[in-house]
Homo-oligomer: A and B are copies of this chain.
Amino acid sequence: MIQITVIQIDNYGPWTVTPNPRRESDLQALQSRLYADLNLMFGAHKGLVFYTRFDNLIAITNGIDLITHKRIQESIRNRYPFTVSMAIASAETPYEAQKLATETLQEYGSAQDENRKEVLDVANELVVDGYVQIAHIDINNITGTFTDIVSAYDTYINVNKVKLYLMEELLKHKALLFFIGGDNFMAPSNGMDEEDFLKIFDKIKNKYNIELKAGIGIGKTAEDASNLADIGLEKIRMKLVNKNICVLRQEDIIEQNLSTKKLCELQR
């Protein structure tokens, strides 16, 4: 079970144009700082937030209780010109969890209902013995094949094509996909296996001639999972693995007292 929190700025659209449209550079600064703060505050408790649409954000929050959510909600109210609502849900897949969370939020009224403020609710229940699976997906040598040779915007378009394709393919597995900067994506993907990813990467190789690799981490919290995913990615980069996927499980490392050195290595 993965636990997802959907975060929504309350009645934000009308605010951006009241009494007159607000300067766009200010709105960009405001939104991206909100995102930074949410990551620091959820990150302090091993959660991870994705910016999504900036006014609607999706966070992985396994291990984070209701009172911590409430404290974060208060901290936003204390420092921003708006408030946020939050709904928490858990499910076998990330897609299901975010769907349940959204539905809970929607029950309280419209995102642009001026009377709906600071909702905080749990759709079903907080996860106790769940786990988070995150794939950290990265383009091979984007620097040499794009950044250093084509224009900044052409690289950007290509990254967006890969992104949308990945979103659509992963959705078939009820997994989510978020861009995290550069040529990097993170996919909360409980339930998917190595083969599922390899098949998608093959398709992308054929369609766009872009090669992907992914470290996949499975851990108790978003931070545990993403750290393991990062380590897996480095193993592939250092050619300690002879394929483009490396899966690392927190329980293997803890229970079998294995260092990550031994896992996911080349079999010689």
Are B74 and A13 neighbours in the complex by a CB distance under 8 Å?
A: no
Are B102 and A152 neighbours in the complex by a CB distance under 8 Å?
A: yes
Q: How many protomers of this protein does the assembly include?
A: 4
The CA-CA distance from A25 to B79 in the complex, in Å, is 11
The CA-CA distance from A177 to B22 in the complex, in Å, is 20
Which residues of chain B are near A119, meaning CB under 8 Å?
A: none
Are B53 and A156 neighbours in the complex by a CB distance under 8 Å?
A: yes
Are B152 and A24 neighbours in the complex by a CB distance under 8 Å?
A: no
The CA-CA distance from A258 to B103 in the complex, in Å, is 38
Query: Does chain B have a CB within 8 A of A118?
Result: no
Are A51 and B32 neighbours in the complex by a CB distance under 8 Å?
A: yes
Interface segment among A159-167, A197-205, A239-247, A249-257: the answer is A159-167
0/1 interface trace, chain A 10-33, chain B, CB 8 Å (1 if under):
001100010001111111111111
Which residues of chain B are near A32, meaning CB under 8 Å?
A: 32-33, 35-36, 39, 51
Size of the chain A interface, CB-CB below 8 angstroms: 92
Q: How far is the CB of A4 from chain B (nearest CB, A)?
A: 9
Q: Which residue of B lies closest to A6 (CB)?
A: B152
Are A110 and B29 neighbours in the complex by a CB distance under 8 Å?
A: no
Q: How far is the CB of A5 from chain B (nearest CB, A)?
A: 10
0/1 interface trace, chain A 84-108, chain B, CB 8 Å (1 if under):
0000000000010011011100100
Q: Which residue of B lies closest to A171 (CB)?
A: B157
Which residues of chain B are near A52, meaning CB under 8 Å?
A: 152-153, 156
Q: Which residue of B lies closest to A75 (CB)?
A: B26
Are A33 and B33 neighbours in the complex by a CB distance under 8 Å?
A: yes
Residue among A17, A79, A171 with the most chain B CB within 10 A? A79
Which residues of chain B are near A37, meaning CB under 8 Å?
A: 29, 40
- Give the B-binding residues of A (Cβ under 8 A): 6, 8, 12-13, 17, 21-33, 35-37, 39-45, 47-49, 51-56, 58, 71, 74-75, 77-81, 95, 98-99, 101-103, 106, 110-112, 136, 143-144, 147-157, 159-161, 163-164, 167-168, 171, 176, 180-183, 186, 223, 226-227, 230-231, 233-234, 237
A23-B227, A111-B147, A160-B167 given. 4 additional CB < 8 A pairs? Answer: A24-B136, A24-B180, A27-B78, A53-B181
